[in-house]
Amino acid sequence: MKITLHASMCVASGNCGFVAPEVFSNPEGNGGFAHLNDSAPPESEWEAADEAEFLCPSKAIQIDRHQIPPR
């Protein structure tokens, strides 16, 4: 799984950081806009990342489920 965050599309809803805090954060110092903590999260975080993508109102999160980047 490889995650891309299109930051310019983010509307700072905070959904991603709430449901997948290991993968995303919404720092107050950044106006609550999303920050991608891990573009290639471990498998244990995939379900949360999928939920974050689904809940993103601006569709700023894109997940490639077929690409596994090298660590």
User: Per-residue pLDDT for the chain (71 aa), expressed as one digit of tens each?
Assistant: 999 999 999 999 999 999 999 999 999 888 999 999 999 999 999 999 999 999 999 999 999 988 665 55
Give per-residue pLDDT as tens, 11-28.
Answer: 999 999 999 999 999 998
The helix (run of H) or strand (run of E) holding residue 25 is: strand 24-25
How is the chain split into domains, by residue range?
A: 2-64
d(CA 65, CA 27): 26
Which residues fall within 8 angstroms of residue 19, CB to CB, at 6 or more apart?
A: 48, 51, 52, 55
The yes or no reply on domain 2-64 and CATH 3.20.20.140 is no
